[in-house]
């Protein structure tokens, strides 16, 4: 159960950070969609709605997305969909319903490093950096591995416009349920990036599988071998949605489908 004693709307990110650091039980509120997942007594809830972090901007080299930008905004953004071959639309469109997508923010999702997140898995196969107010810039992969070094506020992310081909695959019990397993693939030049999430652990790069596939064509033999490597290098577990064995087997299937889709787009 979540309890909140006070609610605070800062006008600047500096104000928000100062209030956060006043007391250990103060907390940042982003979209607030998953507050019920935890049990916490919050002294002052610091709401970021009024400090201008709801935006997507674009320049010649990258997209920048503010922390309070919702999933629905990302999913429907024409520039992101065009450049990343609908990667984020594929990852977001089946998440529960539009009401939830209008609430969930990219900052809350990334900072919380949710293991069930489809968006994080997709984002991990792009060249993305995370901007923390006090901690500065850090690669998404490093942030997911280590988390923030201390209490901080996620301000925005920057996704480099790396030319390539992208695909997202997932396995669900029903169309709007949380993923049993998800997987994303990108190919940039001859280099693959492969991320797997909802294992049920958080999204992680499959480094050995990526190394094996470099400079190789998408053949039946290569995809089978890559699937075997994937199933052994990452840790898969059991929860109410699926068993370890099922996830390992389906990881091979999702990888094969994603590689075939990337190869089809490339050709």
Cβ atoms of 176 and 96 closer than 8 Å: yes
Distance of CA 239 to the CA centre of its chain: 20
97-104 long-range contacts, CB within 8 A, separation 24+: 97/176, 98/72, 100/33, 100/71, 101/70, 101/71, 101/72, 101/75, 102/70, 102/71, 102/72, 103/31, 103/32, 103/33, 103/70, 104/31, 104/33, 104/34, 104/70, 104/71
pLDDT recorded at residue 46: 95
Is residue 166 domain-resident?
A: no
Is residue 111 domain-resident?
A: yes
pLDDT recorded at residue 29: 86
Residues 6+ away with beta carbon under 8 Å from 46? 8, 10, 16, 19, 20, 26, 27, 28, 29
Is residue 168 domain-resident?
A: no
CATH number of the domain enclosing 66: 3.30.465.10
Same domain? 138 vs 60? yes
CA distance 138 to 146: 11
Same domain? 39 vs 69? no
Same domain? 22 vs 91? no
In the numeric block, the tokens 């389906």 are attached to 250
pLDDT recorded at residue 119: 97
Domain count across the chain: 3
pLDDT recorded at residue 104: 93
Find the domain containing 32 and state its range.
2-46
pLDDT recorded at residue 37: 62
pLDDT recorded at residue 247: 97
Same domain? 190 vs 253? yes
Same domain? 118 vs 144? yes
Which residues of the chain fall below pLDDT 50?
none
């Amino acid at each position: 159960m979540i309890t909140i004693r006070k609610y605070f709307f800062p006008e600047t990110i500096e104000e928000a950070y100062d209030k956060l650091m006043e007391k250990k039980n103060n907390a940042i509120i982003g979209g607030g969609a998953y507050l019920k997942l935890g049990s916490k007594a919050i002294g002052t809830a610091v709401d970021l709605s009024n400090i201008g972090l709801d935006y997507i901007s674009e320049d010649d080299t990258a997209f920048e997305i503010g922390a309070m930008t919702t999933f629905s905004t990302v999913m429907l953004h024409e520039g992101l969909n065009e450049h990343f071959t609908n990667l984020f639309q594929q990852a977001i469109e089946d998440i529960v319903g539009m009401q939830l997508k209008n609430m969930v923010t990219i900052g809350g999702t990334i900072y919380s490093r949710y293991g069930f997140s489809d968006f994080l898995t997709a984002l991990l196969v792009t060249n993305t950096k995370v901007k923390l107010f006090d901690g500065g810039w850090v690669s998404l992969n490093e942030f997911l591995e280590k988390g923030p070094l201390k209490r901080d506020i996620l301000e925005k992310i920057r996704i480099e416009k790396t030319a390539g081909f992208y695909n997202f695959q997932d396995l669900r019990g029903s169309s709007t349920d949380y993923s049993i397993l998800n997987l994303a693939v990108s190919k940039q030049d001859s280099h693959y990036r492969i991320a797997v999430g909802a294992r049920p652990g958080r999204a992680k790069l499959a480094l050995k599988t990526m190394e094996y596939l470099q400079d190789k064509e998408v053949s039946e033999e290569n995809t089978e071998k890559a699937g075997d490597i994937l199933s052994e290098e990452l840790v898969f577990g059991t929860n109410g949605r699926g068993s370890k064995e099922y996830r390992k087997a389906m990881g091979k299937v999702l990888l094969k489908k994603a590689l075939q889709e990337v190869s089809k787009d490339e050709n």
